[in-house]
Structure 1
Amino acid sequence: MKLRAISLFTGVGGLDFGFEASGFETRVALDFDPVACATVGLNRDWPVLEGPITEFSSRTILETAGLNPGEADILIGGPPCQPFSKSGYWARGDSRRLSDPRADTLSEYLRVLRDTLPKSFLLENVPGLAYQGKSEGINALVAGVEDINRERGTSYTLESRSINSADYGVPQLRERVFIIGSRDGKRFNFPARTHFPVDSEEALAGRERHRTAWDAFADLPPVENRECLQVKGKWADLLPTIPEGQNYLWHTDRGGGVPLFGWRRRYWNFLLKLAKDRPSWTIQAQPGPATGPFHWDNRRLSAQELCRLQTFPDGLRFQCGHADVQKLVGNAVPSALAEVLAREIAAQFLEAPYALRPATLIPVAQDAAPLATNEHKVANKYLHLVSSDSAHPGTGRGRGAAFRKSEAA
């Protein structure tokens, strides 16, 4: 008999695919995004509730899953993370966090936890949920779980850890916080990291190395329909001049190119290009026209490539535009990491030691990647930017900070 999962904020199903690979069955999935719900329906037969979580009672969720309170083996979900995201700090110097109405999703997750009483739970979010000194989100969850225990006579625990997906075999540097608990008071022991940087002492001594973009893409067929993947906008013709694994910093006075930009004056992922021999950087859900990571062939990543970097199972279908695919994939949890954690939860909490088998969604390490291609010459239309900007003066001194101060004055 498969273990039973209730899935909230399901999106395209990144968490669910990992739990599925570990012997769990999604008995009900819930999401407000119609494109995500339609895509789930294309690929799985999970019962789906489409709409804001506030519109669905816990009874409706349980009835759709065919479960009674206490019968679910796990509640999983990643409440929308915008109030806690690092980009909020970059843009505003802070984030509204719990004062942001979107943070109500944390309360809704706790409401469903209280009413459905699963044997275990997993909540995923961005590291900003638990920033030191700004941990309102974690504190709210701890208080909410304590309230549930007092009200329902349970003994839910709560263990949290920030995890980089690449350290567990995902070919992508993607950091997320995972909060895991058990109804009967057992403490969750997070698994030790299994993969290490290629040039680390551990990898050189025979431990598993980080999986790379080449490991993820090596067996894929040539990409078709390149037109929808074409980079457009003001900086499109500059992308081919940047080497693999570099970003706009290549074209500063501290890089190896032409000094068109000031040092650290742009977002890190501005004109960021994948390197074959390293993990990808974090896939963005809604990238701007110059926001990477881009493929080393100077184009956007295809739907299949995006799915490979998130370690989704092969064969997923999409009936939406590329921007929607990027959003669905960029908002998801890497499935191989979810699989690793699901196997540990099954073994530690649910008396299913058979689950502790190697994860099946981690890509196979390939032989040495092909050599990088040569970059192109900078077009004349960009040369007026040479030495036109200075390096960033430091935290709190940039143009954005100065503008915010002037607005507040």
Structure 2
Amino acid sequence: MSNKSIINNSINSYEVKRMEQGKKFKVASLFAGAGGLDKGLDQSEGFETIYANDIDKDACQTFASWSDAEVVCGNIKKIDADDIPDVDIVTGGFPCQGFSAAGPRKVLDVRNELYKELSRVIEAKQPYAFIGENVKGLLTLGNGDIMNAIVEDFSSKGYNLYYQLLNAADYGVPQDRWRVILIGIRKDIDKGFTFPEPTGRRDLYDVIGNMPEPNPNDVCQAPYSPRYMSRNRKRNWDEVSYTIPAMAKQVTLHPSSPDMIKLDKDLWEFGEGVTRRFSWQEAAAIQTFPEGMEFVGDLVSKYKQIGNAVPPKLAEVIARELYSTLIDALKVSNKHTKVVV
């Protein structure tokens, strides 16, 4: 934990009253991308992102096009935590390329610099809570040692960590998208956190069934690689989509395409008829971005921003649960002043 003490009497009656009167928790968003997570926080009506950072110029411009937040485009490693405003919440999904099966110390591997940057900012800003997101493989890396090390790291910085593997399809997002959601709550106010129960499913027809046929320029026309043809890439109208990927060439097929035919292990072919991938607009709708939202950049960049995002609808459901949890925790903490060293 940092050297400074967390004095709980800073959580005073004014702070609780501020939230009860509809004032929003302030958010700093790291690795923000186009802002899928922040769109969800905004839609929950309990949070306001006032600062966002990403290294991708197109994503930063997309974020700035819909948000009033201060958007700082650049390498997070070069940003001093003092230059980030004081906030109630920090968010960020960190890459995990450096995590391996070699043991829990790998959480501090030099290749995990972005994880360390998230941890650095959280330690410096001491928000009430933070939200993280990662691929499901994080839970099994190193036979669970990596996840244990992350829990221990944030514990040393003053936070209890709650995490759960969720499928976005269970929360109104029409795609199978399994992700680990991490919620950290500062120990001096923590009274526990429970992940939201599933809210229901929506199929592809419900979301994109009435969308017009796209302009060919809005659909990736790249050749279908052997990797693409190694598995089925199509779901039907009454199903949810496969995961929307960040790589344009790997975007899956529109339900109007003919069914794929399995020829052998890891070898499929297209059926007879017109086959096409989802357009970027359809991919955005499946990710639950608002209708008509524009993304800056060329076609490859648009698909990348959309596929890398946290689905706003999933983020909204999680945000509502976190909001009520924090309001209740702050009310209780206000009655019991204590100091955590």
- Regarding TM over 0.5, the answer is yes
With CA pairs under 8 Å and 6+ residues apart, which has the higher RCO, 1 or 2?
2
Cα distance in structure 2, aligned partners of 1:307 and 1:50? 22
Summarize the Cα distance change of 1:276–1:234 in structure 2 as closer, same or farther, 3 Å threshold.
Answer: closer
Match of residue 294, structure 1, among 246, 253, 263: 253
Cα distance in structure 2, aligned partners of 1:37 and 1:15? 14
| 1:162–1:177 contact (8 Å) kept in structure 2 | yes
Cα distance in structure 1, aligned partners of 2:161 and 2:98? 21
| 1:164–1:174 contact (8 Å) kept in structure 2 | yes
The answer to whether the aligner puts 1:15 opposite 2:37 as a matched pair is yes
Match of residue 233, structure 2, among 251, 258, 272: 272
Q: Could you give the per-residue CA deviations for residues 1-27 of structure 1, whole angstroms, max 9, x where no partner exists?
A: 222111111001010000001121101
Higher alpha-carbon Rg: 1
TM-score (norm. length: structure 2): 0.76
User: Which residue type is aligned with residue 174 of structure 1?
Assistant: R
Match of residue 5, structure 1, among 6, 16, 27: 27
| SS of aligned partner of 1:134 | helix
Cα distance in structure 2, aligned partners of 1:292 and 1:222? 17
Q: Which residue of 1 aligns with 2:94?
A: 79
How far did residue 339 of structure 1 move? 0.3
User: Which residue type is aligned with residue 46 of structure 1?
Assistant: A
User: Which residue type is aligned with residue 216 of structure 1?
Assistant: V
The answer to whether the aligner puts 1:158 opposite 2:135 as a matched pair is no
TM-score (norm. length: structure 1): 0.64
* Unaligned runs of at least 5 residues, structure 2: 1-22, 258-274, 331-341
Q: Could you give the per-residue CA deviations for residues 84-104 of structure 1, whole angstroms, max 9, x where no partner exists?
A: 6xxx99xxxxxxx75875422
Summarize the Cα distance change of 1:320–1:158 in structure 2 as closer, same or farther, 3 Å threshold.
Answer: same
Alignment of 1:195-274 (within 5 A): 195=200, 210-223=201-214, 225-229=215-219, 231-233=221-223, 266=230, 268=231, 272-274=233-235
Cα distance in structure 1, aligned partners of 2:34 and 2:213? 25
| 2:220–2:299 contact (8 Å) kept in structure 1 | no
* Unaligned runs of at least 5 residues, structure 1: 90-96, 150-155, 196-209, 237-246, 249-265, 354-409
| 1:80–1:102 contact (8 Å) kept in structure 2 | no
How far did residue 144 of structure 1 move? 1.6
| 2:155–2:161 contact (8 Å) kept in structure 1 | no
Cα distance in structure 1, aligned partners of 2:51 and 2:196? 27
- Percent identity of the aligned residues? 38
Q: Which residue of 2 aligns with 1:139?
A: 148
| SS of aligned partner of 1:275 | coil
Cα distance in structure 2, aligned partners of 1:325 and 1:116? 32
| 2:246–2:305 contact (8 Å) kept in structure 1 | yes
Q: Which residue of 2 aligns with 1:284?
A: 245
Q: Could you give the per-residue CA deviations for residues 153-188 of structure 1, whole angstroms, max 9, x where no partner exists?
A: xxx211110001001111010000011122122211
The answer to whether the aligner puts 1:314 opposite 2:275 as a matched pair is no
Higher strand share: 2
| 1:168–1:194 contact (8 Å) kept in structure 2 | yes
Q: Could you give the per-residue CA deviations for residues 241-300 of structure 1, whole angstroms, max 9, x where no partner exists?
A: xxxxxx95xxxxxxxxxxxxxxxxx3x4xx512311100000111144xx3411134222
How far did residue 319 of structure 1 move? 3.0
